[in-house]
Amino acid sequence: MDADDIFIDTDSYDFHLKQDASIIDAATTAPIIALGLTFTDDIDGQLRTTWDIGADEASIDFDPTVMQTGGDYSTLALWEAGVQTDLTADTTRVFSHGGITGTIVDGDTVTGTTSRATAIVVHATTAEILLETVSGTFVSGEQVQVDTSNHVTISNAGNPANAVAKIDGAWSAADTAAVEINGWTTGANNYVKVYTTDGARHNGTAGSAYVLEPTVPADGILILESYTQIIGIEITNWTTNFDGSYDGIHIGAENCLIDSCLVHDDGHGSENNSDAGGIQVDTASINAGIVKNCIVYNLARWGIAIHQANNSSLKVYNNTVYQYSF
């Protein structure tokens, strides 16, 4: 068993489990039961339901697809509204299943046929179901149902969740709704991640794959929740001849990651008073996180900036910034 295949970063002594670690869901509770022990939490205070080997109970990526056609959601904004939940709660859990019988829609109430546990459906994909406000303890192998015609059979007892938007497939038109990451509860071990697969990711040039191009002036992506990751997104034309202050990516939270994004041509047009910028932090006294490997160009004002945010920090490296005012 290779430690590098199991732990996130052994060089930095981060022994949280990787998503595909073989020891996830591989522990037994028999010794705990035999000894009459009562602890149920891991080193981070997360509730253990399907136990992993070691000190950490891994959070599992729940990753519905965002696709122009055929996905779980057709826009990134619909994904944000649909999956938004308290990721840190012990009553929020992601379960594996073998397929949906009938139909399960967001907001349905479900019940375990064996455990009689109940929950609200955040969303169900073809292989996983994310539940919130769980009451009771679901058991592996039971049917979790809306009713006898609409159900899944779960194959574990649930894990803590990360919320992931997997933007996938071919896009012949832009995604035209601005996105606001807000209203979640996140944590270091329960993050929000938005990323493009290889098939939907730009190749470093404009218009080569998925593009976020809002039709109403707004920040392209406004991040108000800490521990948010934005990876491989192209954003353009978010101001559309507006003279206000909007950014391609606006960071108002801590410990965020912006990686491999293409942010360009804000769309201010003839509006000389536009304050449109590329990637900006404007909240005081925060550790905003990291911006790396991004290409940012053709902007009314700043490329990558901390603006009027005293005592804030942002790590910026390996970016290309071109044609901006300051």
| pTM beyond 0.85, yes or no | yes
Q: What percentage of the chain carries pLDDT values higher than 70?
A: 89
- 48 pLDDT above the threshold of 80: no
Contact 118, 109 (CB under 8 A): yes
Q: What percentage of the chain carries pLDDT values higher than 90?
A: 68
Higher pLDDT, 156 or 3: 156
- 143 pLDDT above the threshold of 90: yes
pLDDT band at 38 (very low <50, low <70, confident <90, very high): low
Both structure tokens of 151: 């159900």
Residues 6 or more apart from 277 whose CB is under 8 A from it?
245, 247, 248, 266, 299, 300, 301, 302, 303, 305, 307, 324
Higher pLDDT, 21 or 306: 306
HSE-up (13 A, CA, CB side) for residue 122: 29
- 94 pLDDT above the threshold of 80: yes
- 269 pLDDT above the threshold of 60: no
Higher pLDDT, 181 or 25: 181
| pLDDT tens figures, 127-136 | 999 999 999 9
pLDDT of residue 2: 65
pLDDT band at 270 (very low <50, low <70, confident <90, very high): low
Q: How far is Cα 18 from Cα 320, in angstroms, rounded to an integer?
A: 31
Higher pLDDT, 212 or 37: 212
pLDDT of residue 6: 80
H or E stretch at 146: strand 143-147
Residues 6 or more apart from 241 whose CB is under 8 A from it?
267, 268, 269, 270, 271
Nearest C-alpha neighbor of 212 from the set 182, 237, 229: 237
